[in-house]
Homo-oligomer: A and B are copies of this chain.
């Protein structure tokens, strides 16, 4: 039961953007360097993030990516869903198109998974990028360098 590197790296990348956004677009190259991630892999993460309206891209020289919304209006849930798909600890309780199952109606274990799904969703949806930026500032003041993982 793990999130893949898509969600993990993607969240780091977006937080990186939120922290370093001040003037002009941010290149994948600079994110990759700061975060120790591969630029090629980051490129693949940007496609769904763009599609979900979380980032915008600016092509050409001096181009890069910018956040499409204010950090306070972007939740971690949004980011994770863009990268990992709907939250679904098991297929039959997927947020989007749950898998069919003959006896889903009276299924007791299914209720367990639905509760798990909801608890994950509530947690991720109640955290905004702004929250993370502020936490990051606190940590920097404490002398800790940066988020990782």
Interface set of A (CB-CB < 8 Å, partner B): 1-4, 7-8, 11-12, 15, 76, 84, 87-92, 101-113, 115-116, 119-120, 122-124, 127, 132, 135-136, 139-140, 142-149
Please list 21 pairs of residues, one from A and one from B, whose beta carbons are closer than 8 Å in the complex, sorted by A's number: A1-B2, A1-B88, A1-B89, A2-B88, A3-B89, A3-B90, A11-B112, A102-B148, A103-B148, A105-B139, A106-B139, A106-B140, A106-B143, A107-B148, A108-B136, A108-B139, A109-B148, A110-B149, A113-B149, A119-B119, A119-B120
A1's partner among B84, B106, B145 (CB-CB below 8 A) is B84
- C-alpha gap A89/B110 in the complex (Å): 20
Please tell me if the beta carbons of B149 and A101 are within 8 angstroms of each other in the complex.
yes
Residues of B within 8 A of A119 (CB): 119-120, 122-123
Smallest CB separation, A37 vs chain B (Å): 12
Residue among A101, A105, A143, A148 with the highest chain B CB neighbour number at 10 A: A148
